[in-house]
Amino acid sequence: MSSVSGSTSGSRGADSASRSGSSTRSESTESARADAAKAEAAKAEAAKVEAANVEAAAVAQAVQASLKVDAFTAAPAAAPVELNPQLSMLSPTPISQQAVAEQPPSITMDSMLSATPLGTPTSFTGTLSTQGLMAAANRLETPAMREAWSGSQLAAQRAKDIATEMGFSVSSTKRTKTGSIGSKSTSDHHTSQTNAYAYDFPAEGAKGTQLAEAIAKAYGFPVDQLGTYHKQPFTFQDKEYRVQVLWGSGIDHDDHVHVGVRSLD
């Protein structure tokens, strides 16, 4: 009996050891599988990051290339149309015979900033519209808009696109108010001016300067004429227009950028 009991006990011990070894091998296999799965997941994540970096670089290259393209054709600089801001274009008196109201002396952006700083440069950046005037028009053009305000609303659309993409809002377009807000009925904003359209974009400091410069460049408006009442002619869809970009404390536009577009046809 003692011999049988010893044999049975030994057999049970061997079975227990076998099961223990099998369990250890199973756990080791599961651990190896888990490690392999983690490694695969890490590789997949790294591949995603790499693909995102490649895509971002391609987008950046495309944006830089498209910034060099514009769809408008600037009119010859030698043929500007000077308008009297105090009188309506619809006046029966020829422009050449209209009395010109005295205007502030010419102020360049450099001199204006040195005299009245508009704020220190910030890290603010904006994604400028790269489609050009034509693309902005094609995206929103309707028969009604094509005729609205003699086409000036359509020609002014890119200014709004740029402001929107740089994070600015619109505070005013066409309106009937005049004296109560320091405006005149001859303003591009006024509804009596049926061949003009205008936007006001609330802005301050260096950000306002960045917005004014971006819009000016898009329309071929000389940046060094910001801070003056300069009017820049340009051609759009075979029609002649002029654009005015007003920004600067010297011309009472240090809290918003004004962009006015007027049809000359």
Q: How confident is the model at residue 126 (pLDDT cuts 50, 70, 90)?
A: very low
Weakest mean pLDDT among 98-107, 143-152, 251-260: 98-107
Q: Which residue has the higher pLDDT, 14 or 39?
A: 39
Tell me how long the chain is. 265
pLDDT per residue as tens digits for the range 227-236: 999 999 988 8
Please report the pLDDT score of residue 5 as a whole number.
Answer: 52
Q: Which residue has the higher pLDDT, 255 or 61?
A: 255
Give me the amino acid identity at 252.
D
Do 126 and 155 meet the contact criterion of CB atoms below 8 Å apart? no
Q: Once rounded to an integer, what is the mean pLDDT over residues 218-226?
A: 91
Q: Which two tokens stand for residue 116?
A: 């009245």
pLDDT at 153 over 50: yes
Please report the pLDDT score of residue 86 as a whole number.
Answer: 43
* Residue 245 Cα distances to 59, 166, 181, 208, 236, angstroms: 30, 17, 19, 12, 17
> What number of other Cβ atoms are within 10 A of residue 263's Cβ?
19
Strand partners, 21: none
User: What is the percentage of the chain residues whose pLDDT exceeds 90?
Assistant: 25
Q: Once rounded to an integer, what is the mean pLDDT over residues 83-103?
A: 44
Q: Which two tokens stand for residue 81?
A: 């149309």
Phi (first) and psi of residue 200, to 5 degrees: -115, 130
pLDDT at 97 over 70: no
Give me the amino acid identity at 127.
T
Please report the pLDDT score of residue 7 as a whole number.
Answer: 52
Q: Once rounded to an integer, what is the mean pLDDT over residues 198-203?
A: 94
Please report the pLDDT score of residue 184 as a whole number.
Answer: 79
Q: Once rounded to an integer, what is the mean pLDDT over residues 74-82?
A: 46
pLDDT per residue as tens digits for the range 17-76: 555 556 666 667 777 788 888 888 888 888 887 877 777 676 666 555 555 544 444 444
Please report the pLDDT score of residue 34 as a whole number.
Answer: 80
SS3 label, residue 90: coil
Nearest residue to 199 via CA among 223, 219, 179: 219
Q: How far apart are CA 169 and CA 190, in angstroms?
A: 20
Q: How far apart are CA 226 and CA 257, in angstroms?
A: 10
> What number of other Cβ atoms are within 10 A of residue 54's Cβ?
10
Mean pLDDT value across the chain: 71
pTM confidence score: 0.50
What H or E segment, with its residue span, contains residue 215? helix 205-218
Q: How confident is the model at residue 241 (pLDDT cuts 50, 70, 90)?
A: very high
